[in-house]
Structures are given as structure tokens and as C-alpha cells.
Amino acid sequence: MLNRQEAPISNEENELLEDIAGFELDPYGYVLYAYPWGEDDLADYDGPDVWQTSVLLDIGEKLQKGLLSNFQEVIREAVASGHGVGKSALVSWLVNWAMDTHEDTRGVITANTDTQLRTKTWPEIQKWSRMRITAHWTEVTATAIYSRTPGHESNWRIDAVPWSIAKPEAFAGLHNKGKRILMIFDEASTVDDKIWEVAEGAMTDENTQIIWCVFGNPTRNIGRFRECWRKFKKLWKTWQVDSREARMSNKHLIQEWIDTHGIDSDFIKIRVRGMFPVISARQFISAEDVDKAYGRHLRKDQYSFAPKILTVDPAWDGDDDLVIAIRQGLAFRILRVIPKNDNDIQIANIVALLEDEEQADGVIIDFGYGTGIKSAGDTMGRKWVLVKFSSSSPDPGYLNMRAYIWGRMKSWIKEGGAIPEDSGLYDEIVSPETVPRTDGIIQLESKKDMKAKGLPSPNKADALALSFAYEIKKKERGPAGRSGARYANTEYSPI
């Protein structure tokens, strides 16, 4: 696969070319061969650590299998680790192996922040690139490693690229049909989900070696990195590396942490054991609690006695949905999901119809973009109420009404609430994070901030939260199941 015939080469160089070419499908063998183990900076090491060896061998085995099937499968490796395990070294070895063993390899490396990429990830790659036996084959700059073979500088390279939601093109255009693609995310837990989605577009080339590796401390219990172990676990080979078992880690410091925080604390889970926390440091509602509520079966007698509360969360932006839902005690259902609709009269008629069909005891509407719906309902004789998320909270422990109703929803989930098996609703409930405050008051990040991070706008989750804004009493109903004259009119009339 290698072609470096830019000039006559020595027998020694020719032997090196042949040796390196033999490691095209063997990254572990390459690492043992390419670096001066037992010498100089590596005097105390005879090769990779056990966990690093396992990852390298797994990639090699998949490449061997891929050779038999024209590389139809993308190789995906996800590593969640504690601190000091040698993650950056493995990243560097993969970069060097990918560049040295396949002509016109292309790749992209990104990290959680530009600072991480420039000051930690890339300097480690530069260090290992200089140490390898093939250091003279490539040029390593502050932002790229590329081949010195004339005419290949643009096609045989791996670039360090900070990610940006506004400019995800670097991850969308990484096609290299018939050759090799290497994609690496460092500190992947906080790389935005949108970048992950765009990166997948580079994984479609046929008959191409495609290797996608993601590394990081498991700091968040939400997001695409976390889902490598859950929703997308069939696609990813996952590894969890404990710092206590890694050769390079500071065992004395680790023991101090354990003595201070406790072995089962989230601090130790994240920074030592390579385990995801039960709840991330700022996540408001834990995935563990939502997992229990997801699809939970309830007997009718567990909720039938409670009032029925219909809620409406209007769409804010063009890509949002309007959601109409209903909660009765521990039971919650989504009745309608409607693309953004500015026809308040039409929506009011739908709400009125559902109010009657469900025999709802009250209707609560989000004030934001909901005033027109409420006004149309007033004309029909409906007694709907509005909730302003930014208004003051009845509980001084919450910054505003939105935080308050989400707090009540959190308690409801813990106390046995049941949500439908709706992955969108699930993601929306676990996504919001708290905003750090010195006064201890609970504040949730805004919808606007969530969307800026690429997170879904929590329309369905807000529809559930709205049902906790006011105490609604069960109505006395007549023989037909109706509660009075206000059900006589379901059509809007401006007169």
C-alpha cells in the first residue's frame, strides 16, 4: 500500500518500507516495532499497557475480517477511562500507524475544546511522532501531520480540527473511497451530538478502511458518548479503563481520592473507575430514574382516581413541535405532536376537542406563544390557564416557575411516575442541566441555551412539566360524563 518512490532509496530504507507495510492490518505489531521501547524516554516500558494492547488487537482483528468483506463495516471503538491511563499515547499510536501503513490516509482529530486539542492532545501526537522510527516520513505542524512524499501533502494527512456547531463541514467532507479514514474524538463526552451526527456522514464510503475511535472521561450521563454504551451499543466496541489497573497512573494520588470521596462516589467513578455517573454533575434528572419510569406499567386503580390535566406546549421555532399531552396521577400520555402552527384558532379547536374526549379536569398552556390559543379558548367559554415559565416560583428554592415545575416532575418520576416508551421524550427529560449559582437556588438552562448546544428543545418534557404548575381538582360530572355547560361549544366564534 505504500508508495514512497520520490527518489532512490537505500537498502535500509527499503527494508523499513517493507516492514512497515506489513503492519497495515496490525496496529499492535506496528506499535511494538516503531517506538524505541526500553530506551531513552521509554526505558521503563517494554510495550503498550494491557488495555491499550486489547484495543489495538481488536482493531487489527476487525481489519483482518474487513479484508475478506471489502471493509463494509466501520470499526468503532469507544473508551471511557479514569485519569492517567495513557489515553493520549494510544491516540498518538493510532495516528502514526494510520499515516505510516496506508498511502493517502486521511483523518481528523477533535477534542472537547480548542485548548484541549492544542495544548494536550496534539502535543502528545507530536512527541510520539518524533520518537517513531519513521519520523522522517511525515511533517508535523501545530495542526496537522502530513506525508513528505511529493504530491501527497493534501491527500495523505491527518488534521487537528476544533469542532463547531456553526461549521461542521470538516467532519462532513472526510471521504476517501478505497483508502483509509481515521476519525478520533478526544474527551468525547462533551463533543456536541451534532458533530457526531455529521461525522457519520463520512462513514459511507465503500471498500474503505474506516476507523472511528472516541476517548474520554465519562463525565456526562447523557449525549452520544454515553449512548455508545446504551442506544448504540450494537455499533460500538466499548471499553471502560480503571486508573487503578493502568500502568502509568499515579496510584498514591488515586488512593487519596478514594479515601476522600469514597469508592462509590461519582467523583471516583468518573476520574478513576472509568464509569459513567448515576447523574452528571449538572444533570437535573438522572437517567437511572428515567430508565425506571420509561414504559413503566401501571394498573388503572393506581391513577384513575386522580384529576386529568391536559397541557399544551406551543412551538417556539420553526423546527420545534407543538405538543398536547395529558397526565392523570402517575400516568402520562402524549396526545398530539404538531409541527409549528401559527393558526391559534385551529389549535384551540383541537385542544377543546381533546379536552372533551379525555374529560379533562383542567387545561394548562405555556404562556410563551400560547396566549393566542388561550384567547381563542376564552371565546369558546373554556377556562384554560396560562403558565409563564419566567414568573416567580412558589418555592423559593427555585429561580422561576420553569425550574419549579421541573422540580416537581423530578419528584413525580422518583415516586413512580410512568412515561411512554418515547426515545425523544426520554432524551428531553435527561438533557437539561442546572446553571451553577452561588446562592444555591436551582436554575435550569434555557431552551435557547440547550438548542445552542445542539440538544433537543424539550417540548414533550415541558408538556409533562406543565401539569405540575397548579393544583387541579377532579370535577363533578353529570350523567353524560360532562362537567357543565362549558363543553357545549367546541368551535371558535369571533362574535
Which residues are CB-neighbours of 75 under 8 A, at least 6 positions away? 59, 62, 63, 66, 209, 210, 211, 212
Q: What is the dihedral of CA 325, 327, 333, 339, to 10 degrees?
A: 10
| Confidence (pLDDT) at 223 | 83
d(CA 350, CA 218): 44
pLDDT recorded at residue 279: 66
Q: Residue 445's CB: how many other CB atoms inside 10 A? A: 17
256: exposed, middle or buried (Cβ count in 10 Å: 0-12, 13-18, 19+): exposed
Query: Given this model, what pLDDT does residue 442 score?
Result: 96
In CATH, what class is 11-273?
alpha beta
Amino acid at 302: Q
What's the pLDDT at 169?
74
What residues does 215 pair with on adjacent strands? 79
Mean pLDDT by runs of 10 across the 495 residues of the chain is 61 94 97 97 96 98 86 94 96 98 95 89 96 96 94 92 80 83 93 88 86 93 87 92 95 96 90 84 86 94 97 82 97 95 93 98 95 96 97 97 98 97 88 90 89 76 97 79 45 42
| CB contact set of 53 (below 8 Å; sequence gap of 6+) | 28, 47
- What pLDDT score was predicted for residue 22? 97
Q: Which of these, 421, 434, 451, lies nearest to 231 by C-alpha position?
A: 421
| Three-state secondary structure readout of 130-177 | HHCCCHHHEEECCCEEEECCCCCCCCCEEEECCCCCCCCHHHHCCCCC
Nearest Cα to 310, choosing from 332, 340, 330? Answer: 332
Per domain, the residue ranges of the chain are 11-273, 288-487
Helices (H) and strands (E) in the chain, counts: 18, 13
DSSP assignment of 98-130: HHHHSTT-EEEEEESSHHHIIIIIHHHHHHHHH
The domain 288-487: what is its CATH number?
3.30.420.240
82: cell is 479514569
The one-letter code for the residue type at 154 is S
**φ/ψ (deg, to 5) at 491:** -115, 135
pTM, whole model, 2 decimals? 0.66
Hey, what's the cell of 405? Answer: 415545575
Whole-angstrom distance, CA of residue 96 vs CA of residue 34: 9
Q: What is the CB-side half-sphere exposure of residue 196 using CA atoms within 13 A?
A: 24
| Ramachandran area for residue 381 (φ above 0: left; ψ -120 to 50: alpha; else beta) | left
Question: Could you tell me if 155 and 104 are in contact, meaning their C-beta atoms sit under 8 angstroms apart?
Answer: yes
pLDDT on residue 9: 78
342 vs 19: CA distance, rounded Å: 67
Give the rounded distance of the alpha carbon of 456 from its chain centre: 11
Residues in the chain: 495
Alpha carbons 400 and 256: distance in angstroms, whole number: 40
Which positions ≥6 away from 7 have C-beta within 8 Å? none
Burial (0-12, 13-18, 19+ Cβ within 10 Å), 137: buried
Sequence-ordered list of residues with C-beta below 8 angstroms from that of 492, at least 6 positions apart, any chain: 345, 348, 349, 376, 379, 380
